[in-house]
Amino acid sequence: MVESSNRPLGLITVSVLTTALGFPAAADVTLSDGDNFSGHSGEALYANVCAACHMDHGQGATGAGRYPALAENQNLAAGTYPVYVVLHGYKGMPPVGQMMSDEQVAAVVNYVRANFGNDYADKVTHEDVATSR
């Protein structure tokens, strides 16, 4: 029988659990304080927020749900589309942008649009995100 408590898991417990489950060691994971994500670069935000579902190379996955590939994805051609999805969610995608600043949303969207075989050079700005928010 497993006992439950309202105490948060300590970093050592998180490290043991994540390592046992085959996830990166806690030292490789950025934990956030409060209600917002702490990463600021698009790459860091993708690795710590998006890769769990969309996978490390944006290849997507199918299992308990379907997580679309972001790699070579023509839906990313118009920057307003991924901004909207990150901010407001879509189908099974939660609105993770609610836990990001406008700058963070722009950074992660620009990262995805410029990586994983995507070559969309026009950047979205934090002003674009604020307008969509």
**Is residue 7 in a domain?**
no
**Is residue 12 in a domain?**
no
pLDDT of residue 24: 53
pLDDT of residue 50: 93
Please say if the pLDDT value at position 120 is more than 60: yes
**Is residue 119 in a domain?**
yes
**Is residue 50 in a domain?**
yes
**C-alpha closest to that of 96 among 58, 26, 29, 48:** 48
**Is residue 13 in a domain?**
no
Domain span at residue 126? Answer: 32-132
- Average pLDDT along the chain: 81
**Is residue 66 in a domain?**
yes
Q: Considering its fold, how many domains does the chain have in total? A: 1
**Is residue 108 in a domain?**
yes
Percent of the chain, pLDDT > 70? 73
- For the stretch 4-62, pLDDT in tens is 444 444 433 344 444 455 555 544 554 555 556 777 899 999 999 999 999 999 999 99
**Is residue 5 in a domain?**
no
Q: How far apart are CA 24 and CA 19, in angstroms?
A: 6
Structure tokens at 67: 């997580």
Please say if the pLDDT value at position 89 is more than 70: yes
Average pLDDT over every residue of 114-123 = 96
Q: What count of residues does the chain have?
A: 133
Domain of 64, CATH number, reads 1.10.760.10
pLDDT of residue 114: 98
Average pLDDT over every residue of 95-115 = 96
Average pLDDT over every residue of 77-94 = 95
Structure tokens at 105: 């949303």
Q: How far apart are CA 51 and CA 36, in angstroms?
A: 17
> pTM of the prediction?
0.74
pLDDT of residue 40: 86
